[in-house]
Amino acid sequence: MAILPIIQPDNPVLRKKAHRVQSFDGKFQKLVDDMYETLMDAPGVGLAAPQVAVSQRVILVRLPDDEDSRNEYGKEAGMLHVVANPEIVKASKEIVEGVEACLSIPGYYGTVDRHEKIAIKGLDRYGEPVRIKAHGWLARVFQHEIDHLDGQLYIDIAKDVWRATREDEDEEHEEI
């Protein structure tokens, strides 16, 4: 496994619609393993293949696994979701505002409106169908990562964006 470089908005791969995953071969498995190692090293809660300069529709999502997170997120804390070709198939009418950051845009935060609850479908890392219902922070992370697959960054839809301050860093904002 290898830690991959995370690209920034000046790399055109980040702004293009990613290609559907067609093969779940050894090369794809290595990509997923490398993305996981990169996500854990960053550290972040989500990573899309375009963020590591690979134009494929695959995302990894993993909420924190510390004691506070286990209390807040229950069984979702620390659970790794690998989803190829994800699609949001259902979204709540309820929209919630939240603060987001991104591994591809270090040092900035933004306020973004997202659906409170979503259901997504796609394929797991082995090409088997998967359907995930998510709410709250998990739903936000999935929406953020799926946006990456369409070449969209949170700064494109944020109400406001600001440079991180020491106060922001003291708060527990997770990089998505």
Please give the radius of gyration of the chain, using alpha carbons only, rounded to the nearest integer. 15
Which one, of 62, 65, 67, lies nearest residue 45 by Cα?
62
- What tokens were used for 71? 């209390």
- The whole-angstrom separation of Cα 146 and Cα 51 is 12
- Residue tagged active-site, from 37, 72, 87, 145: 145
In sequence order, what DSSP letters do the residues of 3-17 get, joined into one string? PPPPP-TTSGGGGSP
Q: Is 145 a catalytic residue?
A: yes
| Tokens, residue 14 | 């980040």
Looking at the annotation, which residues are catalytic? 145
